[in-house]
Chain A
Amino acid sequence: MIELLNYEFARNALIAGSLISILFGFLSFFVVMKKLSFLTVGISHAAFGGIALGLLIGLSPYPTAIIFCILTGFLIASQSNRSEYDTVIGIIFALTMALGVIFLSLRKSYTFDLMSYLFGSILGINKTDLLFITITTILVTLFFTLFFKEIIFITFDKTVAKASGLPVDVFEYSIVAILSFVIVFSIKLIGIILVSAFLIIPAATTIFIANNYKKVIMLSIVLNLVIFYSGFFLSYKLDLPAGATIVTIGALIFFATSFINKKFFN
């Protein structure tokens, strides 16, 4: 196991994975409380269209993916007060995937590794990815630390927060933008299809155990690290795809916790 650390790609993967686990563990509480699970699915799938467009016009896929994700996220967020909210997400996320497939088909060459974008290619994480992930982690941490109490108020009670003068709309769009960035930078780690699980599972699980939001956030971070490390090493041992192993472990922990909670505490 330790010998793994001799390889740079493994070290990169572990550092990136740790940072993203912490970041996602933290954001998870807000995603779950604000019921943004399906929004994160919409955003992550939009990345596919963005990546395909980047490849088509010969750019690095990150900028186009981020633009695609943010536009999609904003479009979805602008519909959040309508009753057809989930319908809108369902249609938009299919559309962005469809566009992605069209862009790919327009490309002449076929050197595109579709699976690695959809399900992650953890060992492909390089120094540049690591840099982006580190910067994003620092900025997001800064944002949430500075405005923590306001963000808690808005998350708890949007209407009253707005009435008392907090910039609710600015925050709602900020969180969409933040989710877009973190999702795009974690695609290599865990993949478009799997990434939202990493944002939903931790808080959905820890909320069974802890009765205070601060504890839920802390525990979600710890849990996400546990899920990531165990998935990472297990996938190495058993020679399984890392992203899928991580998500499977996370989901099992979620169901086990929910089962135990129902059985013993209700």
Chain B
Amino acid sequence: MKPYILIEDLEVKYQQKIVLENIYLEVNKGEIVCVVGPNGGGKTTLLKVILGLKDYSKGSVLVLGKPPEYVDRKEIGYLPQQESSARNFPISVFEVVLMGRYPKIGLLKKPDKEDKRIVEECLKLVKMEHLKEENINNLSGGQRQRVFIARALAMEPKILILDEPSTGLDIVAQEDFYKTLVEIRDKKEMAILMVSHDIGVVSTFVDKIACLNRTIHYHGKSGQPIPEDVLKKVFGTNIQILVHDQHCRGCHRGNND
């Protein structure tokens, strides 16, 4: 099995400023990988590179075996960190989620029964089916976030990329959401790559955590220390870690100069 996402020796710049370097990342089918790190650490940038929305200056990025610009984008669902939809666009919740189907439906075709069934299913997963006829502009921030998550799910992509999906969700909804992610992963066999700040919660269900600040550091699932030799092999010795919690085994508080 080829990895769904394979990044090697990646370097990314904005103008002359290097914001990511020496990045290695592997995400496999059926895995949930969470990227954590400080503000400005480059998490969103990394996701954009994978999505083909940002170019890179060095290294190799393979998504479903291809460089980002050649990837079949229908196979990648995306939830941006900042809501990117037009304000006051008059549209119902159901129709928004149905948009997630558009890329797969293809040109010149209309959504059919199956598309609508998938939309219903996704709305149920995020517990928004009771508001499906509601205008999106009449929802709260957290409800909107759920709708956009449902839209990404409705694509039924091979890879789901979520940038801080839990923003705006209440504690119960967060719990539910993470459970839902696991459920989806099991059912649809997607790979899920997400950014999150609630590392404590996340580390209990994800398969891998990557600490990112300009460069990346990998962790196994919580409780499993990562073998030293794997770390060395993948990252060399130049490791910088800025986010720690009780699950951060195998990493030591580096000198962050």
B86 and A155 contact, CB distance less than 8 A: yes
Interface string of A166-179 (1 = CB under 8 A from B): 10000000000000
Count CB-based A-B contacts (< 8 Å).
Answer: 78
Cβ-based interface call for B234 (8 A): no
Which one, B78, B86, B92, B135, contacts A164 given CB within 8 A? Answer: B78
Distance in Å: Cβ of A145 to nearest Cβ of chain B: 10
> Which 5 pairs across A and B sit closest by C-beta, in order of nearness?
A165-B73, A159-B84, A163-B78, A157-B85, A164-B103
Which B residues touch A211, using CB under 8 A? Answer: 90, 135
Across the two chains, which residue of chain A brings its CB closest to B100? A164
Cβ-based interface call for B72 (8 A): yes
Cβ-based interface call for B67 (8 A): no
Enumerate B60-94 residues with CB–CB distance to A below 8 Å. 72-74, 76-80, 84-86, 88-92
Which B residues touch A158, using CB under 8 A? Answer: 84
A157 and B76 contact, CB distance less than 8 A: no
When chains A and B are docked, how far (Å) is the Cα of A213 from the Cα of B105? 21
Which A residues touch B89, using CB under 8 A? Answer: 33, 155-156, 213
Cβ-based interface call for A153 (8 A): yes
A33-B86 contact given A164-B78, A211-B135, A212-B91, CB 8 Å threshold? yes
Enumerate B93-114 residues with CB–CB distance to A below 8 Å. 95-96, 99, 102-103, 105, 107-108, 110-111
When chains A and B are docked, how far (Å) is the Cα of A157 from the Cα of B148? 11
Cβ-based interface call for B202 (8 A): no
Q: Which residues of B contact A (CB under 8 A)?
A: 51-53, 72-74, 76-80, 84-86, 88-92, 95-96, 99, 102-103, 105, 107-108, 110-111, 135, 148, 151-152, 155
When chains A and B are docked, how far (Å) is the Cα of A156 from the Cα of B151? 13
| Chain A interface mostly | helix
When chains A and B are docked, how far (Å) is the Cα of A33 from the Cα of B89? 7
B86 and A156 contact, CB distance less than 8 A: yes
Most buried by B among A150, A156, A164, A213: A164
Supply 19 A–B pairs (Cβ within 8 Å), ascending by A.
A146-B108, A149-B105, A153-B99, A155-B89, A156-B85, A156-B86, A157-B84, A157-B86, A157-B99, A160-B78, A160-B79, A163-B52, A163-B53, A164-B73, A164-B102, A164-B155, A166-B103, A211-B90, A212-B135
Across the two chains, which residue of chain B brings its CB closest to A157? B85
Distance in Å: Cβ of A197 to nearest Cβ of chain B: 20
Cβ-based interface call for A114 (8 A): no
Across the two chains, which residue of chain A brings its CB closest to B71? A165
Distance in Å: Cβ of A170 to nearest Cβ of chain B: 13
A147-B107 contact given A163-B73, A163-B76, CB 8 Å threshold? yes
